[in-house]
Amino acid sequence: MTNNGTHAPPGPKGLPILGLAFEVRSDPLGTLQRLARQYGDIVSMPVMRMSRVLVNRPDYIQQLLILDHAKLHKSTLTKLVVGPLLGQGLLISEGDFWRRQRRLAQPAFHRSRTNEYSPVMVECALEQTRYWRSGETRNIAEEMMKLTLEVAVRTLFGTSLAGDSESIGKAMTFLMRHYLRRARTPWRVPESWPTSANRRARREVEYMDSLIYGIISDRKKDTRPRNDLLSLLMSAMHEDGSQMTERQVRDESMTLFVAGHETTALSLAWTWYLLGENPAAESCLHKELRTVLAGRPAEVSDLEKLPYLNAVVHESLRLYPPAFIMARMNVETVNLGGYEIPPRTTLLASQWVMHRDPRFFEQPEQFIPERWLDGLEHRLPPGAYFPFGDGPRAPRRLLPIRRRPPPLHRPRLRPTGDRSCNRRNRPEIQFPPEQGIPGCSRAVGNPTPEVRNRDDDSAIVGPAF
Ligand code: HEM
Domain boundaries, the chain: 2-453
Ligand 1 centroid vs 6 CA: distance in angstroms?
Answer: 38
The residue whose CA has the least distance to atom 8 of ligand 1 is: 388
Which of 176, 396, 399, 403 should be mutated for ligand 1, with most atoms under 8 A from CB?
399
- Ligand 1 atom nearest the C-alpha of 389 is 10
- CATH number for 2-453 (one of 3.40.640.10, 3.20.20.220, 1.10.630.10, 2.160.10.10): it is 1.10.630.10
Closest residue to atom 39 of ligand 1, CA basis: 393
- pLDDT value at 190 more than 80: yes
Residues enclosing ligand 1, CB less than 6 A? Answer: 65, 90-91, 102, 255-256, 259-260, 263-264, 267, 322-323, 326, 387-389, 393-395, 398-399, 461
Segment of 112-121, 140-149, 379-388, 451-460 carrying the highest mean pLDDT: 379-388
Q: What are phi and psi of 329, to 5 degrees?
A: -120, 130
The terminus-to-terminus CA distance of the chain in angstroms comes to 19
Which tens digit of pLDDT belongs to each residue from 268-310? 988 988 998 899 999 999 999 999 998 888 888 898 999 999 9
Is residue 430 a contact partner of residue 416, using CB atoms and an 8 Å limit? Answer: yes
Query: Per DSSP, which regions of 296-381 are E strands?
Result: 326-330, 334-336, 339-341, 346-349
Give the nearest ligand 1 atom to 65 CA. Answer: 16
Q: Ligand 1 center to residue 103 CA distance, Å?
A: 16
Instruction: With beta carbons less than 8 A apart as the criterion, state whether 122 and 406 touch.
Output: yes
pLDDT computed for residue 464 by the predictor:
31
Distances (CA, A) of 135 to 50, 278, 413: 51, 18, 9
pLDDT score recorded for residue 459: 25
* Residue whose C-alpha is closest to residue 373's, from 289, 320, 306: 306
**How far is Cα 337 from Cα 344, in angstroms, rounded to an integer?**
18
Best substitution site from 68, 75, 88, 91 to test ligand 1's pocket, by max atoms within 8 Å of Cβ? 91
- Report which of 397, 429, 393 is spatially closest to residue 412, judged by C-alpha positions: 429
Q: How many residues does the chain have?
A: 465
Q: Which atom of ligand 1 is nearest to the CA of 92?
A: 40
DSSP state of 109: G
414 close to 431: Cβ distance less than 8 angstroms = yes
> For the ranges 37-41, 53-57, 229-233, which has the lowest average pLDDT?
229-233
Instruction: Give the tens place of pLDDT for each residue, 428-455.
Output: 333 332 232 222 223 333 333 333 333 3
Interval between CA 139 and ligand 1 midpoint (Å): 25
**Helix boundaries (H) for 95-139:** 95-105, 111-115, 118-129
Atom of ligand 1 nearest to the CA of 252: 35
Q: Helix (H) and strand (E) counts for the chain?
A: 19, 12
Q: Under DSSP, is residue 239 helix (H, G, I), strand (E, B) or coil?
A: coil
- Give the tens place of pLDDT for each residue, 89-105: 999 999 999 998 888 88
Average pLDDT over residues 52-79: 91
* Global pTM value: 0.85
